[in-house]
Structure formats: C-alpha cells, structure tokens
Amino acid sequence: MSETIGWEDFEKVDIRSGTIIEARDFPEARKPAIIMIIDFGPEIGTKKSSAQIAIHYKPEELLGRQVMAVVNFPPRQIGPIRSEVLTLGFLDKDGAIVLASIDKAVPNGERLM
C-alpha cells in the first residue's frame, strides 16, 4: 500500500495529454527505449521524452497516439538526450512498460482531473 497524500499534493503533479508527433529508436539507452517528441498544445508546446517502451512498441506505431505525461518535473539527462517530460505507463507481468492510454481523443495539453 502506498503512502496517503492530500489533494494539495496531487494537484502539484501536472499530468497532461499530448500527441506523439515524432518517434525514433534510442540505441544508446541501456534498456530498449524510444525517443518521442510530444505535442502538448499551444500553452506547453512540444517536449522530448525518452521511455523504455521498445519491448511493446515500434516508433512508427506511436505516431499520432495520445499519451499522458508529467510535464512539471525538471528535465533529466539520459545519455545524449535531455528528456523533458515523464511519459506514463505501467509494468506488465514481465516487467516491460505499457503506456497509460487515453481511450477517447482530448485536446493536447488537457490536464488530468
């Protein structure tokens, strides 16, 4: 069981919707990963994310897919790239990451409520 947090704590985490507009393999990563450019709409713009999702996804399959990401973490240097947002996912039974998904289209940049 995880630690209980207050509503104020949850509100600090800025999770937004975005559409993947570019995706490519990230061969320099230690674990199979993909670099994505995600469009979060006019307020946030486009951001880069590295995610260890290459077990279940190919870059070309990701184009146009809407994802959720935390947009208010500080950027993180991952090898030669700077990951600007944390794209969200879950571990499957084998420990590979499956993207958290949005099942109906929403505007890019919409905040998780």
What does the pLDDT look like over 39-85, one tens digit per residue?
Answer: 999 999 999 999 999 999 999 999 999 999 999 999 999 989 999 99
Cα(36)–Cα(46) distance, rounded to whole angstroms?
A: 10
In a domain, 107, yes or no: no
Count of domains forming the chain: 1
Q: Which two three-digit tokens encode residue 27?
A: 């061969």
Q: What is the pLDDT of residue 91?
A: 97
At residue 87, the pLDDT reads 98
CATH number, domain at 62? Answer: 2.40.50.140
pLDDT for residue 31: 86
What Cα–Cα distance (Å) separates residue 68 from each residue in 2, 13, 18, 24?
A: 21, 12, 6, 18
Q: How many CB atoms lie within 10 A of CB 106?
A: 16
pLDDT of 79 reads 87
Q: Is there a domain that residue 109 lies in?
A: no
CB 31 within 8 Å of CB 59: no
Q: Considering the chain, what percentage of its residues have pLDDT values greater than 70?
A: 100
